[in-house]
C-alpha cells in the first residue's frame, strides 16, 4: 500500500465536510487534486470510500464509514507522535514514575496527577503505592523517579528531599474501646492501654514515641486503623486516615493532653539525577494542593 497521511487527512476532511469543493477551498487546492488524491487512496486501500453522483454531495459507502474512525485514529496517533517528539526536544521526560506512601491523602495525589495530565498530555506516568520504607527503596533501586512520603530521620544519603507541607495527627481508638467513653484522656490513662505504633521500631517516625508498656506494630497507617476498628488499642493516625469513609462511625478521636507534631510530607528524589520539567511541575502542584488541604 502506498497511501500517505495527506490522503488520509483529505479523506477525513471530505467525510466530515461532505464536499470535495469545500475541502479544496479550505486547503487552497484545486478540486481535481482533492478528487485525485481520494481516488488514489481508494485504489491503495482496495475499497470505494464515497459514492459520487453528479450534482450531489459525496456520500460515504459502507466501507468508507467503517474506515473513517480508523483514519481519525491514524491522525490522532500522528498528533501524539508529534507532541511527544516536541516534548522530548524541549527536554521533557517521556516517562515519570511516581512512588507514594500509601497513607498519602488520595485527593492530594489524584488532583495533582489530573493537573499533570492536562499540562503534559503526552507524558507517560506510572504510579506505585508502598508502605513505609518502600518508597525510598524504589528510588534507591531506580524503580521510581520521584517519591512522596512522610518525613523520618533516617533518610539515605543518596536521596534529596524537599518539604511540601504537613498533615495533622490525631489520637484515635475504636468506638468499643474503653477510652472511647472518656471525655478527656491524659498520658497516664493512655499508658494503661495497648498502643499501636508504626513498624519497624527504629523508623524514627513522628508519633513513634512509645508511652504504653504494651505495644503492637504495623507498617501501614491503614492497617493500624483496621486494628483500631477491632478495639485492639489506641494510636496516633493522620487525620485524613481516621476520617476515611470506611472508618466513619468505627473510630473515635480522643481529646488528649499530648498529640504528635504534624506529619511532614516530603518530595524525594535521587541526588545524582536531575528532575525534568514534568517532575518539577508536579512537585509545585503537590505543594499547592497540600496547602489547600491544610
Its CATH architecture, for the domain 95-166+264-293, is: 3-Layer(aba) Sandwich (3.40)
C-beta atoms surrounding 190 within 10 Å: 20
Tens-place pLDDT, residues 133-162: 788 889 999 999 999 988 877 778 888 888
Grid cell of 55 as nine digits: 450534482
Take residue 148 and report the three cell numbers written for it.
512522596
* Burial (CB count <10 Å: 0-12, 13-18, 19+), residue 41: buried
Separation CA 130–CA 100 (nearest Å): 6
Q: pLDDT for 195-215, tens place per residue?
A: 999 876 555 555 578 899 999
The CATH number of domain 5-89 is 3.60.20.10: no
Prior bond of 200 cis (ω within 30°): yes
Instruction: Delimit the CATH 3.40.190.10 region(s) of the chain.
Output: 95-166+264-293, 169-260
Q: Read off the pLDDT of residues 6-26 as tens digits, 9 standing for 90 and up.
A: 888 888 888 887 778 888 888
Q: How many percent of the chain have pLDDT more than 90?
A: 33
Low-confidence ranges of the chain (pLDDT < 70): 1, 54-55, 80, 83-92, 132, 200-207, 293-294
Computed on alpha carbons and rounded to an integer, the radius of gyration of the chain in Å comes to 30
Q: Per the confidence metrics, is the pTM higher than 0.85?
A: no
The superfamily CATH assigns to domain 169-260 is Periplasmic binding protein-like II (3.40.190.10)
Measured at the CA of 152, the angle between CA 151 and CA 155, to 5 degrees, comes to: 100
CATH 1.10.10.10 domain span(s) along the chain: 5-89
Total number of residues shown for the chain: 294
Amino acid at each position: 500500500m502506498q497511501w500517505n497521511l495527506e490522503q488520509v487527512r483529505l479523506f477525513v476532511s471530505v467525510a466530515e465536510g461532505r464536499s470535495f469543493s469545500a475541502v479544496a477551498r479550505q486547503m487552497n487546492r484545486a478540486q481535481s487534486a482533492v478528487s485525485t488524491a481520494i481516488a488514489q487512496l481508494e485504489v491503495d486501500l482496495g475499497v470505494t470510500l464515497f459514492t459520487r453522483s453528479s450534482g450531489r454531495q459525496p456520500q460515504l459507502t459502507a466501507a468508507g464509514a467503517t474506515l473513517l474512525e480508523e483514519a481519525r485514529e491514524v491522525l490522532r496517533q500522528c498528533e501524539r507522535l508529534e507532541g511527544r517528539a516536541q516534548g522530548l526536544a524541549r527536554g521533557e521526560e517521556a516517562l515519570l514514575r511516581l512512588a507514594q506512601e500509601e497513607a498519602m491523602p488520595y485527593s492530594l495525589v489524584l488532583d495533582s496527577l489530573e493537573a499533570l495530565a492536562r499540562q503534559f498530555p503526552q507524558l507517560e506516568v506510572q504510579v506505585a503505592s508502598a508502605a513505609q520504607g518502600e518508597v525510598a527503596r524504589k528510588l534507591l533501586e531506580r524503580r521510581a523517579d520521584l517519591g512522596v512520603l512522610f518525613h523520618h530521620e533516617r533518610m539515605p544519603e543518596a536521596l534529596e528531599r524537599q518539604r511540601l507541607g504537613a498533615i495533622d495527627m490525631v489520637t484515635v481508638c475504636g468506638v468499643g474501646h474503653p477510652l472511647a467513653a472518656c471525655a478527656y484522656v491524659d498520658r497516664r490513662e493512655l499508658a494503661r492501654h495497648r498502643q499501636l505504633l508504626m513498624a519497624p521500631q527504629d523508623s524514627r517516625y513522628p508519633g513513634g514515641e512509645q508511652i504504653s508498656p504494651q505495644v503492637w506494630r504495623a507498617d501501614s497507617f491503614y492497617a493500624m486503623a483496621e486494628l483500631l476498628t477491632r478495639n485492639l488499642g489506641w494510636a496516633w493516625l493522620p487525620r485524613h486516615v481516621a476520617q476515611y469513609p470506611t472508618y466513619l462511625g468505627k473510630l473515635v478521636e480522643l481529646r488528649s493532653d499530648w498529640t504528635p507534631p504534624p506529619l511532614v510530607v516530603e518530595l524525594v528524589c535521587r541526588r545524582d539525577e536531575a528532575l525534568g520539567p514534568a517532575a518539577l511541575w508536579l512537585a509545585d502542584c503537590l505543594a499547592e494542593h497540600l496547602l489547600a488541604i491544610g
